[in-house]
Structure formats: structure tokens, C-alpha cells
Structure 1
Amino acid sequence: MNPRDYLEILHVAERLKDTPRHCTTTKQRTESVAEHSWRISLMAFLLRHEFPDIDINRVVDMCLIHDLGECFTGDIPTFIKSDADREVEDSLLIQWVRSLPEKLSGDFADLYKEMDAQETKEAKLYKALDKLEALIQHNESPLDTWSENEFELNKTYAFDTVAFSSWLTELREAVLEDTMRKIESES
């Protein structure tokens, strides 16, 4: 890859720094997609000793690229994102990935295929962390920033996604404890 191609990729990815997410931070600042991607990457890195049979570097790669489609469409919260929204995002992302240098394009395509199939332990861990991070962020944000449906979502969301791992199930239960404590103390 030549330096110009490298810079162009970085310029596209930089858009995520200015792409707001539905979540807010502890201080009520709207979180960016880049911040979310960074934190799930950190979450994966921190689990390397909990999941020694999983290629954590591959999981980190998935976490880093998982929301690049939002460079083109912005973030649409999962509970309102339609199939049509997904199709547009996927189409624009695929078009961009195909425009990358050949080897890199193949790397991206392989990761996205694995992530979409949700068959490997790595893909399942990435997906679980993606969902768990949103729940954790909601617990860190002030309750008055939650939309009405999030009170129920924070109680039920992602239990199915973490079910493949007893450790992640325990983590999800701890997140639920935090949710319940938050709702009780701030309501």
C-alpha cells in the first residue's frame, strides 16, 4: 500500500470521530462511534487471559473495524435500525472495502464475513462486547439521558449474545445489577 492510499483510509475512518452515537458519557457528552470502537477494542484486549483459546488479536481487529460502515451512514440505534438501513450501510461499506488495496481489501472482507456469520468464538466474542459496551455506557451515563425503551433494554438486551460463555454471562449479570442499582437510586 502506498502512503496516499494509507492516508485516504485514515481520512475515511476519521469520520467516526465526528459521528455521534446514541449514548452519552458520564458527563452527558454525546459519545462518538470512534470512542465506542476504541472501548470495545480495549475490552477485548483485557480479556486475553480469560479466553486463552480465542485469538484476541483477531477480536480486536473486528472491534476496530466493526462500525466503519457508519462513516457513510452515521449511527442508527439498533432498536430503530431497519433492514433497509442495514442494506444501505452494507452496500456503501462493501463498495469502500473493494476500493482498498487488494490485500487489505481481502483482510477486511474476511473479517466482515466472519463477523456476519457469527460461527467462530472470535466473532461471537466481538458481538457480545459490542452489545455489552452499549449497556455499560448507558449505566455510566445519567439516567435522564436514557430513552424510555432503554429502561427495559438495559434489563434484557444481549443475554442471548453472551450465552455461549459463562464468563460473559456473569459479566452481563453484573451489568444488570448495575442497571438495577442505577434505576433504583436515580429514579
Structure 2
Amino acid sequence: MQQVVDFILEIDKLKRVTRKIRPLGLDRYENPAEHSWQIAMLASSLAPHAPPSIDLSRVIAMLLVHDIGEIDAGDTFFFAEDSGAKSKERACVERIFALLPEPQRSAFLALWIELDENETAEARFAHAVDRAMPVLLNLANHGQSWRENGVSHAQVVGRVGPPIRAGCPALWAHIEARLDEALRDGWFGTRER
């Protein structure tokens, strides 16, 4: 029991990490713990649009563990250049999951790796949901993070379109139309990267 308690208290540190997007109606930035909870709920809500025979409980488990590596690595802005954060995140999840007894230790690491490798239907669906949530928040916040960080419409479509389309085509159809509206409304940053 103490190993589980130690693990849960260690992952509480995820609440200290700051992301680049604000929750609706708040002046502060969200943290990855809030993000993970919200995308788990989004995946659950999108179940009717998920690929056939998907194991939704596996998707939710992936989404709940996917950002734990940010405890040590911090949040990497999605549109930033690759900073080698993935290897830092991997070392962190190995450290943190090692707090748990087997078989939980290996099971959580396997879920994290499965999502990272993005080869199963569950991983693709989870990836789609993970990529979609910041877009949905930006759309609801009139492009807050995009405007603050100089992110263009082309960058958003180019980075999030393929994984969302691959994992949940119906979600991409909805988001793509909304992104076009946001472009007309001027909700994107001005500099191209």
C-alpha cells in the first residue's frame, strides 16, 4: 500500500507544471493534471466516434499516464522545436512508475510506450484526443495561446490535422471547419515558423 501512496503523492507534482493554455474563464494557465483529466473525459465522450472494437478503458489509461513525464521534463510547447524532452520524459516515467509494485509498474510503462509509439488503434485515438483538446480550448478562448505564441493557422492544421484525422476522423471534420472560422476571425499569431 505504501508504494501506491508514494506513487500518488509523487504524481501530485504534475499539478505544479504549467502549460501554455488557460482554462476557460481563468487568468492562470492550466496544468497537465487538469489536461489529462479533461482528455480522459473527452475520449469517453467521443466513444461513439471511436474506431470499432477500440478498448476505451485502455485509451483512458493511456491518457491518464501520458503526461507524467512532464514532472521532471516540464511541459514542452507543442509548436516549439524538438528539445529532446521525450528522452527526459521517458526517464521520468521510468523513475516514477518504479515506485509501484509489479505488475502495475510494467503495465503503466507499457501504456506510456504504446501511446508514444502510436501504432495501435487505441494509441491513435488517444493521440487524436490529446491533440484536439488544446485546439478546442484555443477555439473557445479566441485563439489565446496561438495569438500569445505567434502560432499560425498553417502550423495548427499541419501539426494537429494528421493525428486527429488518423485517430478520429469525425472530430477532425468538426475541428477543421472551426479552424477555418478562426482564421477568418483573426485568432492566430502573425509570424510564420
The normalised TM-score by structure 1 is 0.85
Distance 1:156 1:104 in 2: 36
Distance 2:156 2:115 in 1: 24
Equivalent of residue 160 in structure 1, options 147, 154, 162 = 162
How far the C-alpha of 1:142 sits from its partner, in A, is 4.7
Residues 1:17 and 1:148: Cα distance change in structure 2 (over 3 Å): closer
1:151 matched residue in structure 2: 152
How far the C-alpha of 1:61 sits from its partner, in A, is 0.6
2:43 matched residue in structure 1: 44
Amino acid at match of 1:37: S
Deviates more, 1:67-76 or 1:82-91: 82-91
How far the C-alpha of 1:45 sits from its partner, in A, is 0.5
* SS class of match (2:77): coil
2:106 matched residue in structure 1: 106
Residues 1:110 and 1:167: Cα distance change in structure 2 (over 3 Å): same
Q: For residues 29-74 of structure 1, what are the alpha-carbon distances to aligned partners after superposition, in whole Å with 9 as ceiling and x for unaligned? A: 2111111111110110102222242111111111111100011222
Residues 1:21 and 1:151: Cα distance change in structure 2 (over 3 Å): same
* SS class of match (1:100): coil
Equivalent of residue 176 in structure 1, options 170, 179, 191 = 179
Amino acid at match of 1:35: E
Deviates more, 1:170-179 or 1:113-122: 170-179
Moved over 6 A (4+): none
* SS class of match (1:134): helix
Q: For residues 135-166 of structure 1, what are the alpha-carbon distances to aligned partners after superposition, in whole Å with 9 as ceiling and x for unaligned? A: 11112225455334323333443111123243
Contact 1:20 1:30 in 2 (8 A): yes
Distance 2:185 2:67 in 1: 28
Q: Give the aligned length.
A: 183
Contact 1:162 1:172 in 2 (8 A): no
User: Where in structure 1 are there 5+ consecutive unaligned residues?
Assistant: none
Is 1:19 paired with 2:8? no
Contact 2:39 2:133 in 1 (8 A): yes
How far the C-alpha of 1:87 sits from its partner, in A, is 1.5
Contact 2:22 2:29 in 1 (8 A): yes
Is 1:88 paired with 2:91? no
The normalised TM-score by structure 2 is 0.83
* SS class of match (2:139): helix
1:32 matched residue in structure 2: 31
Residues 1:182 and 1:103: Cα distance change in structure 2 (over 3 Å): farther
User: Where in structure 2 are there 5+ consecutive unaligned residues?
Assistant: 188-193
2:190 matched residue in structure 1: none
Amino acid at match of 1:67: D
Superposed CA RMSD: 2.3
